[in-house]
Structure 1
Amino acid sequence: MGELTAAGITDPAMRAAYRSCRAINAAHGRSYFLATRLLPAARRPAVHALYGFARLADEIVDSARPRPVEERASMLDRLAAELHGTLAGEPASPALTALADTVRRHDIAPELFDAFLASMRMDLTVRSYATFADLGGYMHGSAGVIGLQMLPVLGTVCPREEAEAPAMALGEAFQLTNFLRDVGEDLDRGRVYLPADELAVFGVDTDRLRRARRTGRPDPAIRRALTHLVAHTYAVYRRAEPGISLLHKESRPCMRTAATLYRGILDEIVAADYAVLDRRVVVSRARRAAVAARGLIAGTKERRWSG
Protein backbone atom coordinates (compact mmCIF):
# COMPACT_ATOMS: atom_id res chain seq x y z
CA MET A 1 0.00 0.00 0.00
CA GLY A 2 1.51 3.31 -1.13
CA GLU A 3 0.66 5.30 1.99
CA LEU A 4 2.47 2.78 4.22
CA THR A 5 5.57 3.01 2.05
CA ALA A 6 5.33 6.79 2.07
CA ALA A 7 5.18 6.70 5.88
CA GLY A 8 8.29 4.54 6.04
CA ILE A 9 6.43 1.51 7.40
CA THR A 10 8.23 -1.47 5.89
CA ASP A 11 7.92 -4.35 8.37
CA PRO A 12 5.32 -6.82 6.99
CA ALA A 13 3.64 -7.43 10.36
CA MET A 14 3.43 -3.70 11.07
CA ARG A 15 2.03 -3.04 7.62
CA ALA A 16 -0.66 -5.65 8.27
CA ALA A 17 -1.49 -3.97 11.59
CA TYR A 18 -1.93 -0.60 9.91
CA ARG A 19 -4.03 -2.13 7.13
CA SER A 20 -6.33 -3.54 9.80
CA CYS A 21 -6.84 -0.05 11.26
CA ARG A 22 -7.46 1.41 7.83
CA ALA A 23 -10.19 -1.16 7.21
CA ILE A 24 -11.83 -0.27 10.53
CA ASN A 25 -11.76 3.43 9.65
CA ALA A 26 -13.19 2.82 6.17
CA ALA A 27 -16.00 0.66 7.54
CA HIS A 28 -17.12 2.76 10.50
CA GLY A 29 -16.06 6.39 9.96
CA ARG A 30 -17.22 7.36 6.47
CA SER A 31 -16.92 11.14 6.74
CA TYR A 32 -13.72 10.90 8.79
CA PHE A 33 -12.18 8.39 6.36
CA LEU A 34 -13.14 10.53 3.37
CA ALA A 35 -11.46 13.57 4.90
CA THR A 36 -8.37 11.51 5.77
CA ARG A 37 -7.90 10.68 2.09
CA LEU A 38 -7.04 14.37 1.59
CA LEU A 39 -3.95 14.11 3.79
CA PRO A 40 -0.54 13.44 2.28
CA ALA A 41 -0.12 9.67 2.04
CA ALA A 42 2.59 9.58 4.72
CA ARG A 43 0.24 11.01 7.37
CA ARG A 44 -2.75 8.74 6.76
CA PRO A 45 -1.64 5.53 8.51
CA ALA A 46 -1.25 7.27 11.86
CA VAL A 47 -4.77 8.69 11.63
CA HIS A 48 -6.12 5.22 10.87
CA ALA A 49 -4.28 3.83 13.89
CA LEU A 50 -5.74 6.49 16.20
CA TYR A 51 -9.21 5.78 14.86
CA GLY A 52 -8.75 2.03 15.22
CA PHE A 53 -7.94 2.32 18.92
CA ALA A 54 -10.89 4.63 19.59
CA ARG A 55 -13.17 2.17 17.83
CA LEU A 56 -11.89 -0.68 19.99
CA ALA A 57 -12.96 1.14 23.13
CA ASP A 58 -16.26 2.26 21.62
CA GLU A 59 -17.19 -1.30 20.73
CA ILE A 60 -16.56 -2.40 24.31
CA VAL A 61 -18.81 0.33 25.69
CA ASP A 62 -21.61 -0.07 23.14
CA SER A 63 -21.23 -3.67 22.09
CA ALA A 64 -24.04 -5.14 20.01
CA ARG A 65 -23.86 -8.10 22.37
CA PRO A 66 -25.39 -7.25 25.77
CA ARG A 67 -22.78 -7.41 28.52
CA PRO A 68 -22.99 -6.54 32.22
CA VAL A 69 -21.43 -3.22 33.23
CA GLU A 70 -18.83 -5.02 35.32
CA GLU A 71 -17.72 -7.12 32.36
CA ARG A 72 -17.36 -4.09 30.09
CA ALA A 73 -15.46 -2.21 32.80
CA SER A 74 -13.11 -5.15 33.11
CA MET A 75 -12.63 -5.19 29.33
CA LEU A 76 -11.72 -1.50 29.35
CA ASP A 77 -9.24 -2.15 32.16
CA ARG A 78 -7.66 -4.94 30.11
CA LEU A 79 -7.49 -2.67 27.07
CA ALA A 80 -5.69 -0.02 29.14
CA ALA A 81 -3.24 -2.62 30.47
CA GLU A 82 -2.65 -3.99 26.98
CA LEU A 83 -2.06 -0.47 25.67
CA HIS A 84 0.61 0.27 28.26
CA GLY A 85 2.14 -3.15 27.70
CA THR A 86 2.31 -2.53 23.97
CA LEU A 87 3.91 0.87 24.52
CA ALA A 88 6.51 -0.93 26.63
CA GLY A 89 7.24 -3.32 23.77
CA GLU A 90 4.95 -6.28 24.49
CA PRO A 91 3.17 -8.05 21.59
CA ALA A 92 -0.46 -7.08 21.06
CA SER A 93 -3.43 -7.03 18.69
CA PRO A 94 -3.02 -5.33 15.30
CA ALA A 95 -4.85 -2.15 16.37
CA LEU A 96 -2.69 -1.70 19.46
CA THR A 97 0.47 -2.61 17.57
CA ALA A 98 -0.22 0.13 15.02
CA LEU A 99 -1.19 2.60 17.72
CA ALA A 100 2.00 2.04 19.70
CA ASP A 101 4.05 2.55 16.54
CA THR A 102 2.16 5.79 15.84
CA VAL A 103 2.73 7.02 19.39
CA ARG A 104 6.47 6.45 19.04
CA ARG A 105 6.76 7.91 15.54
CA HIS A 106 4.86 11.10 16.38
CA ASP A 107 5.75 11.52 20.05
CA ILE A 108 2.12 11.46 21.22
CA ALA A 109 1.67 11.71 24.99
CA PRO A 110 0.44 8.31 26.32
CA GLU A 111 -1.65 10.00 29.03
CA LEU A 112 -4.01 11.25 26.33
CA PHE A 113 -5.18 7.67 25.87
CA ASP A 114 -5.72 7.27 29.60
CA ALA A 115 -7.95 10.37 29.54
CA PHE A 116 -9.88 8.91 26.62
CA LEU A 117 -10.45 5.60 28.40
CA ALA A 118 -11.56 7.44 31.56
CA SER A 119 -14.40 9.00 29.58
CA MET A 120 -15.28 5.64 28.05
CA ARG A 121 -15.64 4.27 31.59
CA MET A 122 -18.04 7.12 32.36
CA ASP A 123 -20.32 5.84 29.60
CA LEU A 124 -20.85 2.66 31.58
CA THR A 125 -22.49 4.36 34.55
CA VAL A 126 -23.23 8.04 33.80
CA ARG A 127 -26.61 8.45 32.11
CA SER A 128 -26.97 12.22 31.91
CA TYR A 129 -25.17 15.51 32.52
CA ALA A 130 -26.58 18.37 34.53
CA THR A 131 -24.68 21.23 32.85
CA PHE A 132 -22.37 22.00 29.95
CA ALA A 133 -19.54 22.12 32.50
CA ASP A 134 -20.30 18.54 33.54
CA LEU A 135 -20.56 17.42 29.92
CA GLY A 136 -17.31 19.24 29.20
CA GLY A 137 -15.48 16.99 31.65
CA TYR A 138 -16.66 13.98 29.70
CA MET A 139 -15.93 15.54 26.31
CA HIS A 140 -12.38 16.45 27.28
CA GLY A 141 -11.50 12.77 27.36
CA SER A 142 -13.82 11.55 24.64
CA ALA A 143 -13.24 14.31 22.08
CA GLY A 144 -10.80 17.02 23.19
CA VAL A 145 -7.88 14.66 23.61
CA ILE A 146 -8.56 13.23 20.15
CA GLY A 147 -7.68 16.65 18.80
CA LEU A 148 -4.50 16.64 20.89
CA GLN A 149 -3.58 13.17 19.61
CA MET A 150 -4.01 14.37 16.04
CA LEU A 151 -1.88 17.52 16.30
CA PRO A 152 1.53 15.79 16.14
CA VAL A 153 0.35 13.82 13.11
CA LEU A 154 -1.06 16.82 11.25
CA GLY A 155 1.84 19.10 12.15
CA THR A 156 1.66 22.78 13.06
CA VAL A 157 3.27 25.98 11.82
CA CYS A 158 3.45 27.35 15.37
CA PRO A 159 4.43 25.92 18.75
CA ARG A 160 2.08 22.99 19.27
CA GLU A 161 0.70 24.47 22.49
CA GLU A 162 -0.80 27.39 20.55
CA ALA A 163 -2.86 25.00 18.42
CA GLU A 164 -4.14 22.87 21.29
CA ALA A 165 -7.19 24.91 22.35
CA PRO A 166 -8.76 25.13 18.86
CA ALA A 167 -7.91 21.47 18.21
CA MET A 168 -9.81 20.48 21.34
CA ALA A 169 -12.67 22.78 20.35
CA LEU A 170 -12.96 21.07 16.97
CA GLY A 171 -13.12 17.67 18.66
CA GLU A 172 -15.84 19.04 20.93
CA ALA A 173 -17.78 20.41 17.94
CA PHE A 174 -17.64 17.02 16.21
CA GLN A 175 -18.90 15.28 19.32
CA LEU A 176 -21.70 17.76 20.02
CA THR A 177 -22.80 17.23 16.43
CA ASN A 178 -22.92 13.49 17.02
CA PHE A 179 -24.90 14.00 20.23
CA LEU A 180 -27.52 16.04 18.38
CA ARG A 181 -27.72 13.63 15.46
CA ASP A 182 -27.88 10.54 17.68
CA VAL A 183 -30.11 11.80 20.50
CA GLY A 184 -32.77 9.18 19.72
CA GLU A 185 -30.32 6.27 19.57
CA ASP A 186 -28.63 7.45 22.77
CA LEU A 187 -32.03 7.50 24.51
CA ASP A 188 -32.45 3.85 23.54
CA ARG A 189 -29.13 3.16 25.29
CA GLY A 190 -30.36 4.98 28.39
CA ARG A 191 -28.16 8.04 27.91
CA VAL A 192 -28.75 11.75 27.30
CA TYR A 193 -25.77 13.86 26.29
CA LEU A 194 -27.74 17.13 26.13
CA PRO A 195 -27.23 19.16 29.34
CA ALA A 196 -30.29 18.93 31.59
CA ASP A 197 -30.25 22.58 32.61
CA GLU A 198 -30.19 23.72 28.98
CA LEU A 199 -33.16 21.49 28.18
CA ALA A 200 -35.03 22.60 31.30
CA VAL A 201 -35.05 26.22 30.10
CA PHE A 202 -37.42 25.03 27.36
CA GLY A 203 -39.46 22.73 29.61
CA VAL A 204 -37.81 19.59 28.32
CA ASP A 205 -36.60 16.63 30.37
CA THR A 206 -35.65 13.03 29.68
CA ASP A 207 -39.22 11.76 30.02
CA ARG A 208 -40.38 14.26 27.42
CA LEU A 209 -37.62 13.19 25.05
CA ARG A 210 -38.52 9.53 25.50
CA ARG A 211 -42.19 10.23 24.87
CA ALA A 212 -41.38 12.05 21.64
CA ARG A 213 -39.05 9.22 20.63
CA ARG A 214 -41.77 6.67 21.32
CA THR A 215 -44.66 8.48 19.62
CA GLY A 216 -42.82 10.23 16.79
CA ARG A 217 -44.98 13.30 17.33
CA PRO A 218 -43.47 16.78 16.86
CA ASP A 219 -42.89 18.64 20.12
CA PRO A 220 -42.43 22.44 19.84
CA ALA A 221 -40.56 22.62 23.16
CA ILE A 222 -38.04 20.00 22.04
CA ARG A 223 -37.65 21.79 18.73
CA ARG A 224 -36.83 25.05 20.54
CA ALA A 225 -34.30 23.28 22.78
CA LEU A 226 -32.61 21.64 19.82
CA THR A 227 -32.54 24.95 17.93
CA HIS A 228 -30.65 26.46 20.86
CA LEU A 229 -28.20 23.56 21.11
CA VAL A 230 -27.53 23.51 17.36
CA ALA A 231 -26.77 27.25 17.51
CA HIS A 232 -24.37 26.59 20.40
CA THR A 233 -22.60 23.92 18.35
CA TYR A 234 -22.25 26.18 15.32
CA ALA A 235 -20.55 28.65 17.69
CA VAL A 236 -18.08 25.96 18.80
CA TYR A 237 -17.16 25.35 15.15
CA ARG A 238 -16.51 29.09 14.75
CA ARG A 239 -14.27 29.01 17.82
CA ALA A 240 -12.33 26.04 16.42
CA GLU A 241 -11.98 27.31 12.84
CA PRO A 242 -8.93 29.60 13.36
CA GLY A 243 -6.95 26.58 14.51
CA ILE A 244 -6.98 25.08 11.03
CA SER A 245 -4.66 27.82 9.78
CA LEU A 246 -2.21 26.80 12.53
CA LEU A 247 -1.81 23.35 10.99
CA HIS A 248 0.81 22.37 8.46
CA LYS A 249 -0.36 23.55 5.02
CA GLU A 250 -0.73 20.02 3.69
CA SER A 251 -3.05 19.08 6.57
CA ARG A 252 -5.42 22.03 6.29
CA PRO A 253 -7.61 20.74 3.40
CA CYS A 254 -8.27 17.53 5.32
CA MET A 255 -9.40 19.28 8.49
CA ARG A 256 -11.39 21.91 6.60
CA THR A 257 -13.18 19.10 4.81
CA ALA A 258 -13.82 17.20 8.03
CA ALA A 259 -15.21 20.34 9.66
CA THR A 260 -17.39 21.08 6.65
CA LEU A 261 -18.76 17.53 6.52
CA TYR A 262 -19.55 17.41 10.23
CA ARG A 263 -21.01 20.91 10.22
CA GLY A 264 -23.09 19.69 7.30
CA ILE A 265 -24.80 17.29 9.70
CA LEU A 266 -26.00 20.32 11.65
CA ASP A 267 -27.27 21.80 8.37
CA GLU A 268 -29.23 18.60 7.76
CA ILE A 269 -30.70 18.75 11.27
CA VAL A 270 -31.92 22.26 10.54
CA ALA A 271 -33.25 21.18 7.13
CA ALA A 272 -35.17 18.34 8.85
CA ASP A 273 -36.75 20.97 11.15
CA TYR A 274 -34.91 19.40 14.11
CA ALA A 275 -36.80 16.11 13.79
CA VAL A 276 -33.95 13.89 15.01
CA LEU A 277 -35.68 11.79 17.64
CA ASP A 278 -37.23 9.34 15.18
CA ARG A 279 -34.61 9.42 12.42
CA ARG A 280 -30.88 9.74 11.82
CA VAL A 281 -30.03 12.59 9.51
CA VAL A 282 -27.11 12.13 7.13
CA VAL A 283 -25.16 14.25 4.68
CA SER A 284 -25.99 13.01 1.20
CA ARG A 285 -23.40 11.20 -0.88
CA ALA A 286 -23.56 13.95 -3.48
CA ARG A 287 -22.77 16.62 -0.88
CA ARG A 288 -19.96 14.53 0.65
CA ALA A 289 -18.48 14.02 -2.80
CA ALA A 290 -18.68 17.72 -3.64
CA VAL A 291 -17.02 18.73 -0.37
CA ALA A 292 -14.31 16.10 -0.85
CA ALA A 293 -13.67 17.28 -4.41
CA ARG A 294 -13.11 20.84 -3.20
CA GLY A 295 -10.78 19.51 -0.52
CA LEU A 296 -8.87 17.47 -3.10
CA ILE A 297 -8.33 20.53 -5.27
CA ALA A 298 -7.17 22.56 -2.27
CA GLY A 299 -4.88 19.75 -1.13
CA THR A 300 -3.30 19.47 -4.56
CA LYS A 301 -2.58 23.20 -4.55
CA GLU A 302 -1.09 23.07 -1.05
CA ARG A 303 1.21 20.21 -1.96
CA ARG A 304 2.31 21.94 -5.17
CA TRP A 305 3.01 25.22 -3.36
CA SER A 306 4.79 23.42 -0.52
CA GLY A 307 6.97 21.59 -2.99
Structure 2
Amino acid sequence: AGTVGLMTQEVMGLDAAYITAPWSDRPDTSNAAVALGIANQLTNILRDVGEDRGRGRIYLPLEDLERFGYSEDDLFAGTLNDNWRELMRFQLGRARDWFARSEAGVRWLAPDARWPVWASLRLYRGILDVIEQHQYDVFTKRAYVPKAGKLLDLPFSFLVAQVR
Protein backbone atom coordinates (compact mmCIF):
# COMPACT_ATOMS: atom_id res chain seq x y z
CA ALA A 1 0.00 0.00 0.00
CA GLY A 2 2.87 2.38 0.73
CA THR A 3 4.23 1.92 -2.77
CA VAL A 4 1.04 3.44 -4.20
CA GLY A 5 1.62 6.53 -2.06
CA LEU A 6 5.20 6.84 -3.29
CA MET A 7 4.18 6.45 -6.93
CA THR A 8 1.38 8.99 -6.76
CA GLN A 9 3.60 11.50 -4.99
CA GLU A 10 5.90 11.48 -7.99
CA VAL A 11 3.02 11.82 -10.44
CA MET A 12 1.44 14.76 -8.60
CA GLY A 13 4.66 16.62 -8.06
CA LEU A 14 5.89 18.70 -5.17
CA ASP A 15 5.42 22.37 -4.31
CA ALA A 16 7.98 24.78 -5.78
CA ALA A 17 8.92 25.89 -2.26
CA TYR A 18 9.88 22.31 -1.49
CA ILE A 19 11.87 21.90 -4.68
CA THR A 20 13.84 25.13 -4.20
CA ALA A 21 14.47 24.70 -0.48
CA PRO A 22 17.94 23.61 0.61
CA TRP A 23 18.21 19.85 1.16
CA SER A 24 18.66 20.39 4.88
CA ASP A 25 15.28 22.20 5.10
CA ARG A 26 13.22 19.64 3.16
CA PRO A 27 11.02 17.29 5.13
CA ASP A 28 10.91 13.67 3.98
CA THR A 29 7.61 13.51 2.14
CA SER A 30 8.13 9.85 1.29
CA ASN A 31 7.18 8.78 4.80
CA ALA A 32 3.93 10.72 4.52
CA ALA A 33 3.20 9.24 1.10
CA VAL A 34 3.71 5.72 2.45
CA ALA A 35 1.53 6.56 5.46
CA LEU A 36 -1.35 7.66 3.22
CA GLY A 37 -1.14 4.46 1.20
CA ILE A 38 -1.19 2.38 4.38
CA ALA A 39 -4.06 4.41 5.88
CA ASN A 40 -6.17 3.92 2.77
CA GLN A 41 -5.45 0.19 2.64
CA LEU A 42 -6.28 -0.27 6.34
CA THR A 43 -9.54 1.57 5.76
CA ASN A 44 -10.34 -0.75 2.85
CA ILE A 45 -9.64 -3.78 5.02
CA LEU A 46 -11.84 -2.54 7.87
CA ARG A 47 -14.69 -1.49 5.59
CA ASP A 48 -14.64 -4.82 3.71
CA VAL A 49 -14.43 -7.28 6.62
CA GLY A 50 -17.98 -8.49 5.99
CA GLU A 51 -17.51 -8.98 2.26
CA ASP A 52 -14.16 -10.67 2.77
CA ARG A 53 -15.56 -13.13 5.30
CA GLY A 54 -18.19 -14.09 2.72
CA ARG A 55 -15.30 -15.08 0.45
CA GLY A 56 -13.58 -17.00 3.22
CA ARG A 57 -10.88 -14.35 3.66
CA ILE A 58 -9.50 -12.60 6.73
CA TYR A 59 -7.24 -9.61 6.25
CA LEU A 60 -7.21 -8.49 9.87
CA PRO A 61 -4.01 -9.52 11.64
CA LEU A 62 -4.62 -12.85 13.36
CA GLU A 63 -2.44 -11.76 16.28
CA ASP A 64 -4.85 -8.85 16.84
CA LEU A 65 -7.86 -11.17 16.80
CA GLU A 66 -6.12 -13.30 19.41
CA ARG A 67 -5.07 -10.24 21.46
CA PHE A 68 -8.69 -9.12 21.72
CA GLY A 69 -10.12 -12.61 22.30
CA TYR A 70 -12.01 -12.70 19.03
CA SER A 71 -11.75 -15.93 17.06
CA GLU A 72 -11.83 -16.66 13.35
CA ASP A 73 -15.08 -18.54 14.02
CA ASP A 74 -16.51 -15.38 15.62
CA LEU A 75 -15.52 -13.41 12.54
CA PHE A 76 -17.05 -15.87 10.10
CA ALA A 77 -20.23 -15.89 12.20
CA GLY A 78 -20.34 -12.08 12.18
CA THR A 79 -20.38 -11.95 15.96
CA LEU A 80 -20.76 -8.42 17.35
CA ASN A 81 -19.60 -8.43 20.96
CA ASP A 82 -17.38 -6.36 23.25
CA ASN A 83 -14.25 -8.14 22.00
CA TRP A 84 -15.11 -7.21 18.41
CA ARG A 85 -15.80 -3.60 19.36
CA GLU A 86 -12.49 -3.31 21.20
CA LEU A 87 -10.65 -4.89 18.27
CA MET A 88 -12.28 -2.47 15.84
CA ARG A 89 -11.61 0.57 18.06
CA PHE A 90 -7.96 -0.45 18.04
CA GLN A 91 -7.92 -0.95 14.26
CA LEU A 92 -9.68 2.36 13.56
CA GLY A 93 -7.21 4.12 15.85
CA ARG A 94 -4.36 2.52 13.94
CA ALA A 95 -5.77 3.71 10.60
CA ARG A 96 -6.36 7.23 11.96
CA ASP A 97 -2.78 7.35 13.16
CA TRP A 98 -1.56 6.56 9.64
CA PHE A 99 -3.82 9.29 8.22
CA ALA A 100 -2.39 11.78 10.73
CA ARG A 101 1.16 10.84 9.72
CA SER A 102 0.30 11.51 6.09
CA GLU A 103 -0.99 15.04 6.56
CA ALA A 104 2.40 16.77 6.77
CA GLY A 105 3.37 15.43 3.37
CA VAL A 106 0.15 16.50 1.65
CA ARG A 107 1.05 20.11 2.48
CA TRP A 108 4.15 19.83 0.28
CA LEU A 109 2.42 18.51 -2.83
CA ALA A 110 2.08 20.75 -5.88
CA PRO A 111 -0.74 23.26 -5.31
CA ASP A 112 -3.05 21.76 -7.94
CA ALA A 113 -2.66 18.30 -6.38
CA ARG A 114 -3.37 19.25 -2.76
CA TRP A 115 -7.15 19.69 -3.00
CA PRO A 116 -7.97 16.28 -4.49
CA VAL A 117 -5.57 14.55 -2.11
CA TRP A 118 -6.99 16.38 0.92
CA ALA A 119 -10.51 15.57 -0.25
CA SER A 120 -9.76 11.89 -0.70
CA LEU A 121 -7.85 11.71 2.60
CA ARG A 122 -10.66 13.37 4.53
CA LEU A 123 -13.42 11.37 2.85
CA TYR A 124 -11.63 8.07 3.22
CA ARG A 125 -10.97 8.85 6.88
CA GLY A 126 -14.71 9.56 7.09
CA ILE A 127 -15.38 5.90 6.36
CA LEU A 128 -13.86 5.17 9.75
CA ASP A 129 -16.39 7.52 11.36
CA VAL A 130 -19.22 5.70 9.59
CA ILE A 131 -17.93 2.34 10.88
CA GLU A 132 -18.17 3.80 14.39
CA GLN A 133 -21.66 5.17 13.70
CA HIS A 134 -22.67 1.66 12.67
CA GLN A 135 -21.28 0.48 16.03
CA TYR A 136 -18.61 -1.52 14.20
CA ASP A 137 -21.13 -3.63 12.29
CA VAL A 138 -19.21 -4.18 9.06
CA PHE A 139 -20.91 -7.55 8.62
CA THR A 140 -24.37 -6.32 7.65
CA LYS A 141 -23.77 -2.63 6.89
CA ARG A 142 -21.54 -1.10 4.22
CA ALA A 143 -19.59 1.90 5.53
CA TYR A 144 -19.41 4.79 3.09
CA VAL A 145 -19.63 8.56 3.17
CA PRO A 146 -22.96 9.59 1.62
CA LYS A 147 -22.95 11.84 -1.44
CA ALA A 148 -24.23 14.81 0.59
CA GLY A 149 -21.35 14.40 3.05
CA LYS A 150 -18.87 14.31 0.20
CA LEU A 151 -20.31 17.46 -1.35
CA LEU A 152 -20.29 19.29 1.99
CA ASP A 153 -16.69 18.32 2.64
CA LEU A 154 -15.27 19.48 -0.71
CA PRO A 155 -15.19 23.22 0.14
CA PHE A 156 -13.57 22.50 3.50
CA SER A 157 -10.95 20.30 1.85
CA PHE A 158 -10.32 23.13 -0.63
CA LEU A 159 -9.66 25.53 2.25
CA VAL A 160 -7.35 23.08 3.99
CA ALA A 161 -5.45 22.62 0.71
CA GLN A 162 -4.65 26.32 0.53
CA VAL A 163 -2.47 26.13 3.63
CA ARG A 164 1.03 24.77 3.29
Query: What is the TM-score normalised by the length of structure 2?
Result: 0.85
In the other structure, the counterpart of 1:151 is 9
Distance 1:248 1:183 in 2: 35
Q: 1:219 to 1:298 in 2, by over 3 A?
A: closer
State whether structure 2 residue 106 is matched by structure 1 residue 244.
yes
* Partner amino acid, structure 2, of 1:235: D
Residues 264, 283 of structure 1: 8 Å contact kept? yes
In the other structure, the counterpart of 1:178 is 44
Displacement of 1:292 after TM fit?
Answer: 1.9
Q: 1:169 to 1:249 in 2, by over 3 A?
A: same
Q: 1:298 to 1:235 in 2, by over 3 A?
A: closer
Query: What is the TM-score normalised by the length of structure 1?
Result: 0.47
Q: 1:166 to 1:296 in 2, by over 3 A?
A: closer
Residues 156, 163 of structure 1: 8 Å contact kept? no
Structure 1 unmatched ranges of 5 or more: 1-142, 303-307
Distance 2:157 2:132 in 1: 24
Residues 36, 99 of structure 2: 8 Å contact kept? yes
Q: 1:161 to 1:186 in 2, by over 3 A?
A: farther
Displacement of 1:162 after TM fit?
Answer: 2.4
> Which structure has the larger Rg over C-alpha atoms?
1
Distance 1:161 1:297 in 2: 22
In the other structure, the counterpart of 1:210 is 76
Q: CA RMSD in A?
A: 2.1
In the other structure, the counterpart of 1:263 is 125
SS in structure 2 opposite 1:246?
coil
Deviations 1:259-297 (A, max 9, x none): 100000001111111111222111111100111233456
SS in structure 2 opposite 1:275?
coil
State whether structure 2 residue 83 is matched by structure 1 residue 225.
no
The one of 148, 152, 156 equivalent to 1:294 is: 156
Displacement of 1:185 after TM fit?
Answer: 0.4
Residues 12, 113 of structure 2: 8 Å contact kept? yes
Distance 2:124 2:65 in 1: 23
Q: 1:191 to 1:250 in 2, by over 3 A?
A: same
Distance 1:278 1:294 in 2: 31
SS in structure 1 opposite 2:28?
helix
Residues 146, 168 of structure 1: 8 Å contact kept? yes
Distance 1:249 1:210 in 2: 45
Q: 1:161 to 1:193 in 2, by over 3 A?
A: farther
- Count of residues in correspondence between the two structures: 155
